[in-house]
């Protein structure tokens, strides 16, 4: 839902509420002040909720894009690094997945078989979990 649609929806609700308010309250200035603050908080909450939903949808699309292009990368190192960057960008939303990815990367760096397919497959599993978790 876009911001313009959201404002239109809130203004329609205000108009409908205004129809049902008695004339006794319409002449009172305090009523308008209270009504203004209530609607301001309602709009703020709706905008915050809408932006959070859009962020979740963007994360889902990005995770799907990275997950689907697993075989198009030149080597596993590129895939692992892109997955790490994606998870670092969204570590406030998925802190456990980010910690697991860092652990996978540090285990991979300490092993003698660097950048083999197993760490890349583990990273792909993390992305698959995020992509499925956010599915609409």
Percentage above 90 pLDDT, the chain: 4
Tell me how many domains the chain contains: 1
Q: What is the mean pLDDT of residues 39-51?
A: 82
Q: How confident is the model at residue 113 (pLDDT cuts 50, 70, 90)?
A: low
What pLDDT score does 8 carry? 80
What is the structure's pLDDT at 5?
Answer: 75
Owning domain of residue 93: 3-133
| pLDDT value of residue 135 | 63
**Cα torsion angle, 70, 75, 78, 81, sign:** positive
């Amino acid at each position: 839902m876009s911001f313009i649609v959201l404002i239109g929806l809130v203004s329609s609700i205000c108009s409908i509420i205004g129809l049902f308010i008695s004339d006794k309250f319409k002449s009172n200035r305090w009523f308008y002040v209270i009504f203004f603050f209530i609607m301001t908080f309602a709009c703020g909450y709706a905008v915050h909720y809408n932006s959070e939903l859009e962020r979740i949808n963007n994360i889902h699309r990005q995770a799907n894009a990275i997950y689907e292009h697993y075989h198009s990368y030149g080597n596993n190192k590129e895939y692992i690094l892109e997955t790490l960057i994606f998870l670092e960008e969204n570590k406030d939303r998925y802190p456990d997945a980010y910690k697991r990815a860092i652990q996978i990367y540090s285990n991979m760096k300490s092993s003698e078989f660097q950048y083999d397919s197993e760490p890349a497959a583990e990273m792909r599993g993390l992305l698959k979990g995020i992509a499925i978790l956010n599915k609409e």
